[in-house]
C-alpha cells in the first residue's frame, strides 16, 4: 500500500516513526522466522520475542554507531530522546529509549522507501540475535546506498 505522506518522514515526530517502525520490524521478524521453516505458533512467538525486545533493539542501535548516515543519526537521536510518558515495568529506561530509537529508524527508512537499507539493518539484527558475529562487510559505513532516494 503506497499513499503519499502529508509530512516528510524527516519532519515526523520520532514516536510516530517508532509507531510504524515497530509494526514494520515485526513483519520483517515474522517473515524471517517463517522463511526458516518454523510452523508452530508457540515457537514463532518465542523466537520473535528475542528480536523485538528493547534490549536487543538497543544492541542493534549500538552496533550501528559510526555506520549511520547523518539523517539516520538524527532520527536515532530524536527517537532516543522522545518522551513516551511510560516505560514498561520489565525493562530499563535506557534500553527502552534505545529500543524507541531503533523503531524510529526502522519507521523512517520504511517511509523513505529505503528498502535496501532496511534489509541491511535487519540482517544485522539477525546476526546479533542468532549469535553470529557481525562482519565488517555487512554494514557499508554509510556508503552503498543512495541517501534520500528510494530503493
What is the DSSP annotation of 69-81?
A: -HHHHHHHHHHHH
Distance CA 103, CA 18 (A): 4
Residue 130 binned pLDDT confidence (cut-offs 50, 70, 90): confident
CATH code, 10-129: 1.10.1520.10
pLDDT at 7 over 90: no
Is 79 in contact with 103 (CB distance < 8 Å)?
yes
pLDDT at 23 over 90: yes
| Span 37-94, pLDDT tens digits | 989 999 999 999 989 999 999 999 999 999 999 999 999 999 999 987 776 777 788 9
Contacts of residue 150, defined as CB under 8 A and 6 or more positions apart, other chains included, come to 112, 113, 114, 115
| Span 108-123, pLDDT tens digits | 999 999 999 999 999 9
Q: How many residues does the chain have?
A: 151
Residue 27 binned pLDDT confidence (cut-offs 50, 70, 90): very high
Helix 14-35 vs helix 41-52: angle between axes, to the nearest 10 degrees? 140
C-alpha cell at 133: 558475529
Write down the mean pLDDT value for the chain. 84
Q: Which of 22, 71, 95, 141 is catalytic?
A: 22
Q: Residue ranges per domain, the chain?
A: 10-129
Closest to 19 measured CA to CA, from 71, 84, 114, 94: 84
**H helices of 53-132, where?**
54-64, 70-81, 93-112, 115-129
Whether residue 22 lies in the annotated active site: yes
Sign of CA dihedral 122, 123, 126, 132: negative
Amino acid at each position: 500500500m503506497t499513499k503519499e505522506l502529508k509530512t516528510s518522514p524527516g519532519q515526523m515526530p520520532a514516536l510516530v516513526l517508532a509507531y510504524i517502525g515497530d509494526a514494520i520490524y515485526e513483519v520483517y521478524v515474522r517473515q524471517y522466522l517463517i522463511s526458516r521453516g518454523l510452523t508452530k505458533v508457540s515457537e514463532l512467538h518465542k523466537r520473535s520475542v528475542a528480536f523485538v525486545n528493547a534490549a536487543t533493539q538497543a544492541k542493534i542501535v549500538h552496533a550501528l554507531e559510526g555506520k549511520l548516515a547523518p539523517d539516520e543519526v538524527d532520527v536515532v537521536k530524536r527517537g532516543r530522546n522522545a518522551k513516551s510518558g511510560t516505560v514498561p515495568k520489565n525493562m530499563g529506561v535506557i534500553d527502552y529509549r534505545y529500543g524507541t530509537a531503533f523503531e524510529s529508524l526502522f519507521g523512517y527508512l520504511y517511509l523513505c522507501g529505503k528498502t535496501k537499507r532496511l534489509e541491511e539493518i535487519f540482517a544485522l539484527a539477525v546476526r546479533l540475535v542468532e549469535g553470529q558475529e557481525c562482519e565488517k562487510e555487512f554494514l557499508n559505513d554509510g556508503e552503498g546506498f543512495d541517501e534520500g532516494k528510494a530503493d
